[in-house]
A and B are shown apart, each in its own frame.
Chain A
Amino acid sequence: MSNLFPNVEWDVMLASTGQTLYMTAVAVIATFVIGLFLGLALFLTGKGNLWENRFFNVITAGIVNIFRSIPFIILIILLIPFTLFLVGSMLGANAALPALIIGAAPFYARMVEIALREVDKGVIEAAKSMGSSNAQIIFKVLIPESMPALVSGITVTSIALVGYTAMAGVVGAGGLGDRAFLDGFQRTQNDVTFVATVIILIIVFLIQFIGDTITRRLDKR
């Protein structure tokens, strides 16, 4: 092992993997919640839907589009004051979280909106005809009926987030991106870059596998 990868410090690599997993996991959970909320807001205030409201819809869509369009590496820099205020430092995994979540949630929100739009209008009409309240339509119809698409959406978002954590690593968040860039690239230790990349690939494949399995289980269509 040490012949093949002379420069790899395995305990450091393990700790970095932990940091990447931690950043990804917390960001995925927060993105899911915030993105679902934003996506619902986008969908419900849209034309012909339960809370149709053109003003609110345009504002929400605008905010979502702005944050979705800013390249992540720039978003990190733009958010430095906000992160300092919130976390108190620009170093470490926690400091990466605000940028990760603010970068990914609008991305996921659009996927949520698309997923909700795919719910059969007839089923919503049926629920209305039975006297459902709007809250009942949201929680008993819209979310359950779009669940497979919501899960495959969060799978795609999670994988994007793994990529974001690597970028956040470059500016001091730690994790596998940090290893690959600082130890691997800048100190020309190609074996370190290689190992970090392989671990990231494994994480991505695992996320995809888990996401696909859950989606398949949920989809009774």
Chain B
Amino acid sequence: MAHIYLMPFCSYSQKGIFYESEESSLLITLDAVRKIFKTKDGPVNAVDQVDLTIEQGEIFGIIGYSGAGKSTLIRMLNMLERPTSGSVTVAGKDLSTLSKNELRKARQEISMIFQHFNLLWSRTVRENIAFPLEIAGVAKAERLKRVDELIKLVGLEGRGESYPSQLSGGQKQRVGIARALANNPKVLLCDEATSALDPKTTDSILNLLVEINGKLGLTIVLITHEMHVIRKICHRVAVMENGKVVEQGPVLDVFRHPSEEITKDFVKQVTEPEETTDVIKQLASEKPQSKIVQLTFVGGRAEQPVVTDVIRKFNVQVNILQGKVSQTQNGAYGSLFIQLEGADSEVSGAINYMNQQQVEVEVVSYE
């Protein structure tokens, strides 16, 4: 048990574009947006007074459980659902005031990828990618050239003549992404784009999205129910519950200080494996005199060997129960569960000491 280093894996140059917020411009503004569905059981407030701003070049995540309204919300960003009230402005255009033709033009700049990919099975990969170009009236020679570029960009060389049914889920989503990028959009909307994929494929698709965000400066808005997705690629996150945005901010801040219960639940998805609570309860009951402490290390400040210092300076036994480091787009985030044993004064001294360091300390009690 040597030093515990939690390295800041992620440099800020990897694009927290929104940090340069003085220069950056708002790309998407939602103002008091509301969507009411009429059902047999009366009106349902799917989206309730949501205000959001999303900046040029950022990856913005919206997380919530199913039924939270995130799917409706993202569909209002391209008017697949029209808001009951409020306004949605994308790239300077108030979408609900546009005429049919203007909206069709605007939609060519707001692409979308889907959980179930929604490819045309009757078309080959190439023809699927060419589809939005046909819609936009791009000439054939130009189309062929653009399709080649896109196939290369998403890493589908050699699969151009395959039909979607011959592809794996990850490859299908790559086609979906290529298709979405065909008309050089300003925004890419991701509707649970990785929810139908296995964890490994999910990671490769997420990496592709980050790459595209970096390479093309494309703004990405995604909805998901997996905190893992938010953690891995988003710069900022909004948490939705019952149609409302209950919490939002830079991903690392939300990880560090989740204020709502639902947000804490989501953060736990990433920091604590499910069995953690049980294991810790078990250990705590075996040694009732000991204290269990959760240390949270955040971003660039996670370097000091806090645990080693505690062992050197105090007469306590430190037992590491569980630790995990997660990387976010804004820097690393780690949590460590330790068990402290020793005289009460030594233990509280150790806790005080850790409190003065740049880590968050929480004494955990399980009844």
Q: B107, A144: Cβ atoms under 8 Å?
A: no
Q: A132, B104: Cβ atoms under 8 Å?
A: yes
Q: A129, B80: Cβ atoms under 8 Å?
A: yes
Rounded to whole angstroms, the CA-CA distance of A220 and B162 in the bound complex is 10
Q: A221, B112: Cβ atoms under 8 Å?
A: no
Q: A125, B116: Cβ atoms under 8 Å?
A: no
Contacts of A221 in B (CB 8 A): 121, 165
Q: A129, B165: Cβ atoms under 8 Å?
A: no
Rounded to whole angstroms, the CA-CA distance of A122 and B122 in the bound complex is 14
Contacts of A71 in B (CB 8 A): none
CB distance from B143 to the nearest CB of A (A): 14
- B residues 170-229 with Cβ under 8 Å of A? 179, 183, 189
Q: B111, A220: Cβ atoms under 8 Å?
A: no
Rounded to whole angstroms, the CA-CA distance of A64 and B336 in the bound complex is 70
Contacts of A80 in B (CB 8 A): none
Rounded to whole angstroms, the CA-CA distance of A125 and B116 in the bound complex is 12
Interface of A (DSSP majority class): helix
Q: A140, B78: Cβ atoms under 8 Å?
A: no
Chain B residue, CB-CB nearest to A124:
B118
Find B118's partner among A120, A132, A147, A218 (CB 8 Å cutoff): A120
Find B107's partner among A131, A147, A220 (CB 8 Å cutoff): A131
Tell me, yes or no, whether A128 is within 8 Å of chain B by CB.
Answer: yes
Q: A220, B119: Cβ atoms under 8 Å?
A: no
Contacts of B163 in A (CB 8 A): 220
Q: A129, B122: Cβ atoms under 8 Å?
A: no
Interface of B (DSSP majority class): mixed
CB distance from A35 to the nearest CB of B (A): 20
Q: B135, A136: Cβ atoms under 8 Å?
A: yes
Find A133's partner among B104, B106, B183 (CB 8 Å cutoff): B104
Chain B residue, CB-CB nearest to A147:
B122
Tell me, yes or no, whether A4 is within 8 Å of chain B by CB.
Answer: no
Interface string of B106-135 (1 = CB under 8 A from A): 111011101010111111000000011011
Contacts of A120 in B (CB 8 A): 118
CB distance from B365 to the nearest CB of A (A): 48
Tell me, yes or no, whether A123 is within 8 Å of chain B by CB.
Answer: yes
Tell me, yes or no, whether B136 is within 8 Å of chain A by CB.
Answer: yes
A129 with B104: in contact, given A141-B120, A220-B121 (CB under 8 Å)?
Answer: no
Find B123's partner among A125, A131, A136, A144 (CB 8 Å cutoff): A144
Contacts of B103 in A (CB 8 A): 131
Tell me, yes or no, whether B105 is within 8 Å of chain A by CB.
Answer: yes
Contacts of B131 in A (CB 8 A): 127, 130, 140
Q: A132, B135: Cβ atoms under 8 Å?
A: yes
Rounded to whole angstroms, the CA-CA distance of A123 and B78 in the bound complex is 16
Rounded to whole angstroms, the CA-CA distance of A172 and B66 in the bound complex is 65
Tell me, yes or no, whether A66 is within 8 Å of chain B by CB.
Answer: no
- A residues 73-122 with Cβ under 8 Å of B? 120, 122
CB distance from A209 to the nearest CB of B (A): 23
Interface string of B131-148 (1 = CB under 8 A from A): 110111000000000000
Most buried by B among A123, A126, A145: A126
Find B119's partner among A123, A140, A147 (CB 8 Å cutoff): A123
**6 A–B contacts, CB within 8 A, in A order:** A128-B107, A129-B189, A130-B107, A130-B183, A133-B104, A220-B163
| B-to-A contact residues, CB < 8 Å | 78, 80, 103-108, 110-112, 114, 116, 118-123, 131-132, 134-136, 163-165, 179, 183, 189
